[in-house]
Amino acid sequence: MSDLRKIILEENEIPEKWYNIQADMKNKPLPPLHPGTKEPIGPEDLAPLFPMELIKQEVSQEQWIEIPEEVREVYKMWRPTPMYRATNLEKVLDTPAKIYYKYEGVSPAGSHKPNTAVPQAYYNMKEGVHKLTTETGAGQWGSALAFACEKFGIDLEVYMVRISYEQKPYRKLLMNTWGADVYSSPTDKTQGGKSILEQDPNSPGSLGIAISEAVERAATSGGTKKYSLGSVLNHVLMHQTVIGLESIKQMEKADAFPDIVIAPLGGGSNFAGISFPYLHYKLTEGKDIRCIAVEPASCPKLTKGEFRYDFGDTVGLTPLLPMYTLGHTFVPEAIHAGGLRYHGASVLVSQLLKDGLVEASAIHQLECFKAGVMFANTEAILPAPEATHGIAQVIREANKAKEEGAEKTILFNLCGHGHFDMAAYQDYFDGKLEDHELTYDELHSGLNELTTPKIEE
- What is the nearest approach in angstroms of ligand PLP to the Cβ of residue 2? 29
- What is the nearest approach in angstroms of ligand PLP to the Cβ of residue 186? 21
Site mask for ligand PLP (CB under 6 A), range 396-435, x = bound: -------------------xx-------------------
Candidates 440, 438, 83, 76; CA nearest to 258 is 83
Site mask for ligand PLP (CB under 6 A), range 321-350, x = bound: ------------------xx----------
Interaction of residue 139 with ligand PLP, rule CB under 6 A: no
- What is the nearest approach in angstroms of ligand PLP to the Cβ of residue 269? 4
- What is the nearest approach in angstroms of ligand PLP to the Cβ of residue 179? 20
Interaction of residue 231 with ligand PLP, rule CB under 6 A: yes
Interaction of residue 393 with ligand PLP, rule CB under 6 A: no
**Pick from 119, 186, 267, 327: which binds ligand PLP (CB under 6 A)?**
267
Interaction of residue 266 with ligand PLP, rule CB under 6 A: yes
Which residues ranging from 60 to 89 are in contact with ligand PLP (CB under 6 A)? Answer: none
Specify the stretch interacting with ligand PLP by CB under 6 A; choose among 62-70, 205-213, 251-259, 268-276: 268-276
Site mask for ligand PLP (CB under 6 A), range 99-138, x = bound: ------------x-x-------------------------
Q: What backbone torsions phi and psi does residue 373 show, to the nearest 5 degrees?
A: -70, -40
Give residues in contact with ligand PLP (CB under 6 A): 111, 113, 140-141, 231, 264-271, 339-340, 384, 386-387, 415-416
